[in-house]
Chains A and B, each alone.
Chain A
Amino acid sequence: MNEARQAGRRDGRISVEIDRLSFSYGRDGHRLVDVSLAVREGEVCALLGPNGAGKTTLLRCLLGLLTPAGGDIRVLGTDVSRLSARQLARLVAYVPQSATTPFPFTALDMAVMGRTPHISVTSAPSAADRRAALAQLEHLGIGHLAHRAFSLLSGGERQLTLLARALVQEAPVLILDEPTSALDYGNEVRFLDVVAELVRTGRAVLMTTHQPSHALTHADRAILMRGGAIVADGSPEDVVTSDRLSDLYGVPIHVAQVPLPGGHGRTQRTCFPVPSRAEPRSA
């Protein structure tokens, strides 16, 4: 990320503010301990951490799917525990890892569902809502799939449909839970490019990912979690380092600065696991 962009983002209004949040599943122990973070307008924030670190639990608390044991979550200054599902849905939109339904909904059917919090509870989406959903599908390059069965689309197409649904929801905060886990490498990059574009309209994006490189290439902020607590929070350059990643995931990981091809001296950080043949197990 270039410096100008970083500087611009720091001035953004705070969209999501989480303050000393804790959560536990029954007596199984705490899943979130004193988690505090803020996501600003126009910022893509990547949440990294090993399995069971509490990333998804944190997102589910923010989405109102879990009730925290303590702490506050504020979206645009409003305490979410005081909001109805409908009010929250106007502020926070969600793109799940994947969606399944046994019924043959079309891609357009799925996308237009994003209009739900904006229409009266006893009515159905209008022709204008359907046009808006279709326009969003077209904007994401899948307009020609609008009348196809959602369940028969490829993983990439389905994920884009779910993104279209979240976008027609017109919420200032977008939550993505490992949105690229079902995508091939090319679609992964394209999907993240689209997400990075979205924040230009002033949205705030919080996403979990299992790929630390996503934080380096597509995020403005990186937050590292382990054992239900935040262990690091800052710009990807500062936070996503060889030491921190190796420590976080328990395997040797190297972060390197590499020149971009034809980049006139520009560089990009990237990370990769250190191959075991270069680092004998006895070491």
Chain B
Amino acid sequence: MSDVHSGVRKYDPPEGESTFSDPPHADRTPPRLNAQNSSRLWIGILVLCLLALTLLSFGLGGYPLGPVTVIRVLASRFVTIPVTWPQTAATVILDVRLPRILAALVVGAALSSSGAAYQTMMRNPLVSPEILGVAAGAGFGASLGILLGFSASVLQVMAFAFGLLAAVASLAIGRVVGSVSPIVLVLGGVVVGAMFGALISATQYFANPDTTLPEITFWLFGSLGRATNGGLVAPAVIVGVCLAALYAVRWQLTVLATGEDEARTLGIDRRVVRTVVIGASTLMTATVVSVAGIVGWVGLVVPHLARSFVGPSFGRLLTVSALIGAGFLLAVDDVARSATTQDLPLGILTALIGAPFFVALLVRAGRQWL
């Protein structure tokens, strides 16, 4: 072998040039910030922005408050400091604005993270909890629960059960068609979403116009107006556990995003990863649907934004999606509650912002997705 090589087939590349570039690339990638360092920088910046936005949100509303008062009131819950603020300020901050801000952070982080997880697992940048019909399924579960007069915890279980059913049904349609191409998955999700949309309409039709109908309508618009501190404990814990589960499989999921067969040859047990991802994402989506109703577009748009900051590697993508999603929903909810004297429905605002943004993304990257 060696003597054959030394004679004819030996190829001596010019110094430093890749022997495999066709044509040889003249431009050399300049040394740049290591991807991990640059994403740490992004995460730091986003955390600071989120803190600032949260502080701002506490001050915003019909009863404006300065950031110093906000910090003092919040700190007074943990350390003893002299009370220099009216009791009204404490009530507004702790009982009115705190639950709403916490709800926005939890719901935004959960929807964006589950969107990022679904997109990565299905190697499909067009899916999201809404597009897969999960949100509609969970919405139907909640509506049915309201119609039947169940308690809040049963509503949550029903939202999860029907959300999971919707996710599985969307995936099954792709399987039956024999293709997992982006378009088939999206169509499957549209079909499942339409089915559950019809079932939601049915619950509205049969609902009592004085009692259960307004309640159901609330879910469909999406709103954080009914959040309470006590009611947020369980959802926040569930979302936290789900985020931790997704973070645990971050690398396995990243490898799965390059193809199922290849991932198997790299040692990935895809059943475990799929179970964790579908379970955690669906549970999170269903949980926040039971808190805030159907808040669309966040799970579709935010992961794209996050990917443009830190790339597709899921550990970084998850962290940044959660941060951006939390901040985005908090900002939108600030608008929803302070733009007019009346609360605007959150889901309507996110759709009005998200849809044009998604068109912009399609224009930029559309051809690669189809």
Contact = CB atoms under 8 A, between A and B. Distances in A.
Contact of A147 (B32, B257, B307): B32
Size range of the chain B interface in the assembly = 35 or more
Contact of B265 (A65, A110, A156, A191): A65
A154 B267 CA distance: 27
A155 B255 CA distance: 21
**Most B CB within 10 A of own CB, among A84, A109, A159, A262:** A109
Interface string B307-333: 100011101000000000000000000
B251 A125 contact: yes
B13 interface: yes
Contacts of A103: 120, 123, 125, 257, 307, 312
Contact of B29 (A63, A93, A147, A189): A147
Interface stretch (A12-20, A24-32, A68-76, A116-124): A116-124
Interface string B253-270: 011011101101111110
Contact of A86 (B4, B11, B22, B269): B269
Contacts of B363: none
B18 interface: yes
A133 interface: no
B369 A102 contact: yes
Nearest to B261: A65
Interface string A93-128: 110100111111110111001101101011111010
B259 A100 contact: yes
Interface in B90-126: 120, 123-125
A63 B368 CA distance: 30
A112 to B, nearest CB: 9
Interface in B2-26: 3-5, 7-9, 11, 13, 16-22, 25
B251 A124 contact: yes
Contacts of A273: none
A85 B267 contact: yes
Given A102-B368, A145-B29, A89 B19 contact: no
A5 interface: yes
Interface string B50-66: 00000000000000000
Contact of A190 (B19, B32, B261): B19
A117 B267 contact: yes
A108 to B, nearest CB: 8
B35 interface: yes
A106 B36 CA distance: 13
A141 interface: yes
B364 interface: no
Contact of B21 (A87, A127, A157): A157
Contact of A157 (B20, B250, B265, B267): B20
A132 to B, nearest CB: 15
Nearest to A64: B264
A186 B22 contact: yes
Given A103-B257, A104-B311, A154-B22, A147 B35 contact: yes
B28 interface: yes
A193 B12 CA distance: 13
Given A157-B20, A157-B21, A196-B1, A85 B257 contact: no
A102 B123 contact: yes
B252 interface: yes
A2 interface: yes
A160 B266 CA distance: 17
Contact of A119 (B251, B265, B369): B251
B245 to A, nearest CB: 10
Contact of A113 (B4, B25, B255, B264): B255
A275 interface: no
Contacts of B312: 101, 103-105, 109
A260 B11 CA distance: 16
A155 to B, nearest CB: 8
A172 to B, nearest CB: 14
A135 B314 CA distance: 23
A142 B267 contact: no
B249 interface: yes
Interface in B256-303: 257-259, 261-262, 264-269
Interface of A: 1-2, 5, 60, 63-65, 84-90, 92-94, 96, 99-106, 108-110, 113-114, 116-117, 119, 121-125, 127, 130, 140-142, 144-148, 151, 154-157, 159-160, 165, 169, 184, 186-187, 189-191, 193, 196, 217, 260-263, 266, 268
Interface of B: 1, 3-5, 7-9, 11, 13, 16-22, 25, 28-29, 32, 35-36, 120, 123-125, 182, 248-252, 254-255, 257-259, 261-262, 264-269, 307, 311-313, 315, 368-369
Given A103-B120, A104-B307, 6 more contacts: A2-B3, A63-B265, A64-B264, A144-B29, A193-B9, A268-B4
19 contacts: A84-B267, A89-B265, A89-B267, A93-B265, A96-B262, A101-B123, A101-B312, A102-B125, A104-B307, A104-B311, A105-B311, A105-B313, A113-B258, A121-B252, A122-B249, A142-B18, A187-B22, A193-B11, A260-B7
